[in-house]
Copies of this chain bind each other. A is one copy, B any other.
Amino acid sequence: MHGRILIVDDTATNRIVYKVKLSDAFYEPLLAADGATGLRLAQDAAPDLVLLDLSLRDLPGPEVLRRLKANPLTRAIPVIALSASPGAADRGLALAAGADDVMSRPLNDAALLARMRNLLRLREEARFVTRAWGHEAPSILGMAEGAAPFDPAPFTPAGTVALVTSRVELALAWKHQLRRQMRDGLVVMSREQALALPPARDSTIPDVFVVEADLDAPGGGLRLMSELGSHAGTRHSATCIITPGEDDETTVMAFDMGADDVLSARLCDHELAPRLRTLIARKRQADRIRATVEDGLRLSIIDPLTGIYNRRYALPRLAGIAAQAASEGSDFAVMVVDLDRFKSVNDRFGHAAGDAVLVEVARRLSENLRLSDMLARIGGEEFLVALPQTTLPEAERVAERLRQMVCEAPVTLPSGDGLHVTVSIGVALGARRSEQTEDVSTLVDRADQALLSSKSAGRNVVTFSRNAA
């Protein structure tokens, strides 16, 4: 079963018909015969999507929506509202209350299923963080299961929306709909202008593109959506496709090509604004999840104490530097840097003093390396340095500079006292000959051997691995 779908409808035949249709499409239907039961099941059974009839006898549809969106446990569940009366006011109310879509009965099954696939796909993406962190974890994102609290105020904070059409009268009509709700962030652009947006994510990239389905040519808007989706700058923007009439086939196609919403031009008057608000909120949520994931990734390779790379990152990264050197036919060097008599620092001055020494030594090493060099903490008091495109005399100079920068000035301890510390360094040079590339761990072993010689030579010394000479 590929998704638990809660059907809230007080007409038994409707429930039965959709139970069968959803089962046939390999979904797991859950049935609620009134709004109160629907709200309870939405909280307790954690459905992936809700199909909500708007004309329930016990609770008005917008009220059910309002409660779903007010409860942190149900806020993120997508809702498709179903209405027998295609009245514009009802539809607008449901959208304003947070429905992802409103569909009128009789339903076109293909369009309903395409819309469901679209919403379920988004939900799966939002669940990425949940899976890594355990079932209730996304509250760390400041939201319940990845959802931003639904904000009923129109467009606060404002998003930016691009209206993409080549027909001036359409652009004016859309602008007119949105002007009341949005003061800023509304631009009209052509296909060419949309494609010429910068490849980096910056403030000129709209949150949402509203695109005429038949832009410049039949299906031209769908093609543009696909192009924007393959561009680095615009691939995370949402797209709302506007179809000229009610056209279920284009709707299905647009959703399956990745549209975030599809709306008939006829309905723009009442629905463009609330739909854009939902799209902007959802886009913000996706941005936040992506930022959290990138943050997590970055943190996973950083030593929390010193802020430099950790061991997990260092060794594979060194392999990359070695491969690059082999392909360029250039030299590179590896150093192992170890704090001398670090245990005694901890024993005499305490844990906090030891930490201060590690942080300061990491800072001094870092400040005396190039941006292209790599510095990592690979053990309690041990650092690894990799120097790409570096010859033996250059490595010698760098190692000597690092040794001096550590010993020449005392480290200030949390107590305010100064403490002189030193490091011992072992250096090994990567073999330039690409046909007999040395394993990276052998190279580090050689640097480690050289480090041992530095230690036995009395510490505060740089030693070169013999093979490197």
Contact = CB atoms under 8 A, between A and B. Distances in A.
Nearest to A380: B351
Contacts of A233: 2
Given A26-B196, A139-B317, A141-B316, A295 B300 contact: yes
Given A2-B195, A73-B327, A136 B320 contact: yes
A2 B231 contact: yes
Contacts of A222: 256
A72 B132 CA distance: 30
A297 interface: yes
Given A2-B195, A71-B327, A144 B320 contact: yes
6 contacts: A117-B230, A124-B235, A132-B294, A133-B297, A292-B297, A293-B293
A88 interface: no
Given A133-B297, A140-B316, 11 more contacts: A3-B232, A124-B232, A133-B298, A136-B317, A136-B324, A137-B301, A142-B316, A256-B257, A296-B300, A299-B299, A343-B350
B144 A230 contact: no
Interface of A: 1-3, 25-26, 43, 71-73, 114, 116-118, 120-121, 124, 128-129, 131-133, 136-137, 139-142, 144, 195-196, 199, 222-223, 226-227, 229-233, 235, 256-258, 292-301, 304, 312-313, 316-317, 319-321, 323-324, 327, 343, 346-347, 350-351, 354, 380
Given A2-B231, A117-B227, A140 B301 contact: yes
Given A226-B256, A297-B296, A137 B317 contact: yes
A183 B359 CA distance: 56
Nearest to A129: B297
Given A327-B71, A346-B351, A301 B312 contact: no
B131 A319 contact: no
Please classify the interface of chain A as helix (H, G, I), strand (E, B), loop, or mixed, using the class held by over half of its residues.
helix
Contacts of A257: 256-257
A141 to B, nearest CB: 7
Contact of A1 (B199, B292, B296): B199
A140 B230 contact: no
Contacts of A230: 2-3, 116-118, 120-121, 124
Nearest to A320: B139
A-B pairs with lowest CB-CB distance, top 7:
A139-B320, A296-B300, A132-B297, A140-B316, A117-B230, A296-B297, A346-B351
A13 B12 CA distance: 69
Given A257-B257, A343-B350, A72 B297 contact: no
Which of A2, A124, A299, A321 counts the most B-chain CB atoms under 10 A from its CB?
A2
Contacts of A1: 199
Given A296-B299, A316-B140, A320-B136, A327 B43 contact: yes
A116 B227 CA distance: 10
A256 B259 CA distance: 11
A175 to B, nearest CB: 26
